[in-house]
Amino acid sequence: MKDKVLELKKKRNAVIVAHNYQLGEIQNIADYLGDSLGMAHFGAASTAQTIVICGVHFMAESAAILSPEKTVLIPDLAAGCSLAECITAAQLTEWKKEHPQAVVVSYVNTTAEVKALSDICCTSSNALKVVQSIPEDKEILFVPDMYLGTWVRMQEPKRKIRLWNGSCHTHVRIRPEPIAKLKADHPKAEFLMHPECGCLTASMGLADKILSTDGIIKRARESAAKEFIIATETGILHRLKKENPEKTFYPAAEEATCEFMKKITLEKVLWSLEDMQYRVTVPKDTAERARKALDAMMQIQ
Ligand code: 13P
């Protein structure tokens, strides 16, 4: 099946762009494997005619917004994102009416309609820099992840940042008690945490670093530590173990598995390339407005 995928990929002039939470069988065939920011940059820079997004729906929408001339495919349309479902365009419109002077910062885990109503997007790897790029006296509406927003707010306590009450159903499964136990059992382990974690404020005192998924990958590679406790979706462990066979990784929660990310299988990627399905497009007007918010983010290094 892998050979068939690689052959069809060539025939279709396609690239496979995968997120760090994907199944190992997908990670192993990806042309690009990374976090949401890296995926967006790679898709936009690629000269391939077709981009197969192995991730969740908002990632495919971002690729379609940034590369309207390319064919963007997602192998299963049911690969949604609970966080992106936390805020609708209608809800954001109402919230903006209450704070007409505020700057809207939206996490990329949002629908294209929500991005179209935003001033600038962010990902977990650049959220702080994005917020710091906004004049200090400006009020900020941060949507939809309250944990990432809380973390940013703690780094920038002088700013007025209002948080939307949204969260990722997978990261809220990560609880503080098992982390404290893992830390006690493995005192030399470095504890790396994703800012979407539901136990962010309870466990951040124990964290050595709070990082995006690519940040976790990089830190694990560069750190002298031999053991790590990893607080994020468990799909990342495949890459961590593969790239660091001499190191040991303990998931902070075995149950932190995103069912939507796991909807993408090798078989579905094959079908996707065979049938050129499922194509993800964004209406022109929405895409143009959403693109401004994505472009503004992508200019921030
Ligand atoms: P990263 O950008 O850190 O990969 O996170 C994306 C995501 O969807 C986390 O749930």
In angstroms, the CA 26 to CA 75 distance is 11
Ligand 1 contact via 203 beta carbon (within 6 Å): no
Which CATH fold would you assign to the domain 171-251? Rossmann fold (3.40.50)
**CA atoms 55, 271, 78, 256: torsion sign:** negative
Ligand 1 contact via 234 beta carbon (within 6 Å): no
Burial label for 222, CB within 10 Å (0-12, 13-18, 19+), is: exposed
**Mean pLDDT, range 2-14, rounded to an integer:** 97
Please report which confidence band the pLDDT of residue 135 belongs to, taking 50, 70 and 90 as the band edges. very high
pLDDT (0 to 100) of residue 19 = 98
Burial label for 181, CB within 10 Å (0-12, 13-18, 19+), is: exposed
From 17, 32, 58, 109, the mutation candidate for ligand 1 (largest count of ligand atoms within 8 A of CB) is 109
Ligand 1 contact via 213 beta carbon (within 6 Å): yes
* pLDDT tens sequence across 36-53: 989 988 999 999 999 999
pLDDT (0 to 100) of residue 137 = 97
Mean pLDDT of the chain: 97
From 57, 213, 239, the mutation candidate for ligand 1 (largest count of ligand atoms within 8 A of CB) is 213
3-state secondary structure of 300: coil
Distance (angstroms) between ligand 1 centre and the Cα of 65 equals 18
In angstroms, the CA 108 to CA 137 distance is 24
pLDDT (0 to 100) of residue 132 = 98
* pLDDT tens sequence across 62-73: 999 999 999 999
Burial label for 283, CB within 10 Å (0-12, 13-18, 19+), is: exposed
Number of alpha carbons in the 13 Å side-chain half-sphere of residue 95: 24
Atom of ligand 1 nearest to the CA of 34: 4
193 pLDDT more than 90:
yes
* pLDDT tens sequence across 239-249: 999 999 999 99
CA angle 165, 168, 173 (to 5 degrees): 115
CATH 3.40.50.10800 boundaries in the chain: 2-82+261-281, 171-251
**Mean pLDDT, range 20-48, rounded to an integer:** 95
Distance (angstroms) between ligand 1 centre and the Cα of 232 equals 9
- Structural class in CATH, domain 2-82+261-281: alpha beta
In angstroms, the CA 185 to CA 203 distance is 16
Whether the pTM exceeds 0.75: the reply is: yes
Atom of ligand 1 nearest to the CA of 212: 3
